[in-house]
Amino acid sequence: AAVSIFIGIIFVYFIWMVVKTLHMELLTTILDKVISVGVLALIVVFQQEIRRFLLRLGTRYTKEGKRRGLLESLFRPGKETLSKNDIEEIIQACSRMSERKTGALIAMERFASLGFIAETGDRIDARIHSRLIENVFIKNSPLHDGGMVVSNGRIQAARCTFPMSESQGIPPYFGMRHRAGVGLSEQTDAYIIVISEETGHIATMQDGVIKTLSGMAELRFDLETAFHK
């Protein structure tokens, strides 16, 4: 859809240039108005994409309000890190929850703050531990509904409300957890893990893209790539 819209924009711009070159005043005036309105329409249509672009641009320069060096932010974009032990705890929890078909939704903060998401849930502020993660998502637990937020090497909150994606490209066999995970990944640069309670399959979300994993080895590789390398 985005490609089609872009082609349409190029076509309208080409027509406008031809009309202007031929000094067709009336058509030029009409197309000027169309283009003026079109700019606003594009902002509305691509608001999520524009938001993500500004987020990426902004997080190159700031993190928690602290200024980064210009050259470092442009040529050495850093990543938020989790310790290897944190990663292993998360993998152990995901492995056991996958085996037991325990549904889970975990968002791990990178550069963009997830504080506004953590505020929608119940504060935990505990170190990352596999048993704690499992106990949060176990069925009938008071915290199992909603998502978990992990940042600064700690489990910050659980039972959080994630924004739902309105994308039509999400396969219908994915449930509400997947749609919520995609929704948050569309608005932030968080790394998100979803475990299906129907199948036990593990999927991850980044930048609005869903990736179904083949196993724990792939999850470990992705986590280390996102947070440790």
Summarised one tens digit per residue, pLDDT across range 129-177 is 999 999 999 988 999 999 999 998 999 999 999 999 888 888 888 989 9
d(CA 50, CA 187): 10
> What region does 152 belong to: left with phi over 0, alpha with psi -120 to 50, or beta?
left
- CA angle, 87 then 123 then 220, to 5°: 10
Contact indicator for 202, 93 with CB cutoff of 8 Å = no
Q: Where are the beta strands (DSSP E) in 111-190?
A: 122-127, 147-151, 154-160
In the chain, CATH 3.40.1700.10 covers 84-227
Architecture of the structural domain at 84-227: 3-Layer(aba) Sandwich (3.40)
Specify the pLDDT at position 21. Answer: 86
Distances from the Cα of 86 to the Cαs of 90, 98, 141, in angstroms? 6, 18, 23
Q: What is the pLDDT of residues 30-73, one digit of tens each?
A: 877 777 777 777 777 666 666 666 665 655 454 444 444 443 44
The token pair that represents 187 in the structure block: 């608005």
State pTM to two decimals: 0.69
Chain CA centroid to CA 39, Å: 26
Rounded average pLDDT over 71-96:
73
Specify the pLDDT at position 27. Answer: 82
Which amino acid is located at 24 in the chain? M
